Structure 1
Amino acid sequence: MTNLFKYGSCIFLMGIIMDYIETWKEVIQRPSDFYRRMPTTGGYNEPITFAALSYLIYWLLTALFNRGMMRGMYGYGGITEFGFSTAIITAVVALIMSIISIFIGAAILYVIYKVLGGSGTYEGTFRFISYATAVMVVSWIPFIGWIFGLYGIYLYIVGGMVVHDVSMVKSAIAVLLPIVVIILLAVIAAMFVVSSFFSAIV
């Protein structure tokens, strides 16, 4: 009975992995076709599973292959060795935070798309964001990962355009607006810190 359970579990996991790989290839290679075929309803299990696997791969590979950065992050806490177990813990914690960020990001984008005349739903927004995490699988690669990050923005724009039935220009505005706001806030905060520093020494 135990062997049968293990065999069934392996078959189940292999099925999930194979489905993930097929979906991943469709999202990366033919995003427009994928999003047009993507159901905008049907629950959150499938998109969450896909996003969870994407983020797990990203954080695990980031932790394992960028140990110098991770060791620096943990060095202050007295952790000098960044081994496989630490990488697993880091990946799991980061995975949970990443999934939470999808729910929050979907809510923000949903409101922006609605303001711009979009007709999609929150669930549809959550779904296209979740599948856009496909780029995370390769975004961890040092020096060139940012290129895939740009492609991820493109996936967001295409997904929002299809789900909310808006033009690419409006979809680009919806996707880029939060990024611009965050950058502006960061610049303002930096200017405030610099101004306070010079005021203190004058």
Structure 2
Amino acid sequence: MFSISGYLKEWFNTTKYILTQPRDFFKEMPTSGSFKEPLNFMIFTIFIASLLSTPIIMLTFADYLSEMDLSCIILVTAGAFVFSLFVMAISVPLNAFTYHILLMICGANGNFKTTLRVFCYYLSASVFILPSIGIMMLILHIAEKNGLEGGLFDIVSIVFLMAVVILFTYYAFYILFVGFSEAHRMSMKRVIFALVGIPLVINIIIAAIPMAMVFSSGFSTEACGQSTENTLPFDHEYTDTSHVESNITASYGSIPVVDGYYTPEDKWQETQEVNFTSEDVEYTIAAKHDSENLYILIKWEGDPVWQNSMDIHFEQDGNSHDHNLSTGRDDYKYNGAKVYGPGNFADAHYSGGAREEENGMVAGNYSDGFWVQEWVVPLRSADPGDINVEQLPAELGFAVLDWGSGIATGRWPARAWPYEPETWGNLEIVE
């Protein structure tokens, strides 16, 4: 039986998850299947947001409302609520459609429903933006009524405006960009270019047309009929050849102790270690195998960071890889160790948009200023998407990304990006 209090609790938990851990939420968000859950979330969020926006509308017309009787105020309040409800309900599909076109131009992998799903959950940002605007307007209204004006009033207004616009709005767009990046398997820079760069370029072109007409009118008519072709300054096929020089060898050897610690007894010293520095953090990667499983160790220095997640990516085409996610297998594993605890492990791969449950295991610990994570990855899996090495030697595309506060603070290779395998390195599994 449907329970309002139960659904309200579920909605609150989902909203909290989106606002505090957007990257993890959109990693786990299904990109296909039933649309019932995101639709219900959108409807309920619009209802809550309309309730929150009503006081803002009322504060805007506070001077006029003071001259009305109670019945008129109630009528205006109800009208403001219905108006807000209607505007938000119409804006969701329209904005999603516009954003989807821009994302498709920059190589989005999902369909319109994928974009709409992200937008449905992105509405949760209004839950903290609208109250912030309302509080700001209320404080300014009270300050103005108490005679605060002139330079001091302007300073207070600017401070509150900057706090809302720069801090809250910036984070709201960050949630949206992260959602599109994860759902459409796009790099953040492509998402930003799609939603910010392209509209900016279009506006510049639109503004430049009348200026060019005015400018050209000062010249002779011989210049008429000439046209200048405008192209967007975006190279869709980003290429980085760093993977040619970025190699890790996984040799055959004894099974290491997988407990999240790096000690001589763990037998990792039998392997080749790769050391690199990224964002002033020193990392060590080691890899080995026993023909059945691939074992990977990652060690780095630093304190736990909010919203941190260590991700490893594999790309395979037979016994090799071609740096292209459109073919072969993309096996992706992430561990939100600094959020959920060192034993948390998730596995995902993309095969027609499907994501799966855990395949393998991870152990991790933080001690003496160092983090250690050890991964066990099956080499022979019957599940589509997981790596399946039938014979050795073999070569896999490989990348490591350490997400700190939602930003890739550590990368191997140096310019690695999850959805651009041409930036990945090579993992050579030898006999």
Normalized against structure 2, the TM-score is what?
0.37
For the aligned residue pairs, the C-alpha RMSD in angstroms reads 3.2
Cα distance change of structure 1 residues 84 and 28 upon mapping to structure 2, 3 Å threshold: farther
- Tell me what 1:3 maps to: none
Cα distance change of structure 1 residues 184 and 57 upon mapping to structure 2, 3 Å threshold: farther
- Using the TM superposition, name which of 60-69 and 17-26 deviates more: 60-69
Which structure 2 residues correspond to residues 53-64 of structure 1 after superposition, within 5 A?
A: 53-64=44-55
Structure whose residues are more often helix by fraction: 1
Normalized against structure 1, the TM-score is what?
0.73
1:50–1:130 Cα contact (<8 Å) kept = yes
Letter in 2 for 1:12: S
- Using the TM superposition, name which of 117-126 and 169-178 deviates more: 169-178
1:109–1:175 Cα contact (<8 Å) kept = yes
1:121 has 2:108 as partner: no
Cα distance change of structure 1 residues 101 and 62 upon mapping to structure 2, 3 Å threshold: closer
Q: Aligned equivalents of 1:132 and 1:64: distance in 2?
A: 22
Cα distance change of structure 1 residues 161 and 96 upon mapping to structure 2, 3 Å threshold: same
Bigger CA radius of gyration: 2
Q: Aligned equivalents of 2:48 and 2:199: distance in 1?
A: 24
- Tell me what 2:38 maps to: 47
Q: Aligned equivalents of 1:182 and 1:21: distance in 2?
A: 39
1:153 has 2:173 as partner: yes
Q: Aligned equivalents of 1:58 and 1:184: distance in 2?
A: 33
Match of 2:51, SS state, is: helix
- Using the TM superposition, name which of 135-144 and 151-160 deviates more: 135-144
Letter in 1 for 2:179: G
1:37, distance to aligned residue in structure 2 (A):
0.6
Q: Aligned equivalents of 1:173 and 1:127: distance in 2?
A: 21
1:56, distance to aligned residue in structure 2 (A):
2.7
Match of 1:39, SS state, is: coil
Which structure 2 residues correspond to residues 21-170 of structure 1 after superposition, within 5 A?
A: 21-64=12-55, 67-71=58-62, 75=64, 83-140=73-130, 141=132, 142=136, 143=160, 144-146=163-165, 147-170=167-190
Cα distance change of structure 1 residues 66 and 178 upon mapping to structure 2, 3 Å threshold: farther
How many residue pairs get aligned? The number is: 177
Q: Deviations over 1:64-102 (max 9, x none)?
A: 255330446xx59x9676745533432232222212211
Letter in 1 for 2:27: R
1:155, distance to aligned residue in structure 2 (A):
0.9
Unpaired stretches in structure 2, ≥5 consecutive residues: 137-159, 212-431
Whose RCO is larger (CA < 8 A, sep 6+)?
Answer: 1
Unpaired stretches in structure 1, ≥5 consecutive residues: 1-7, 193-202
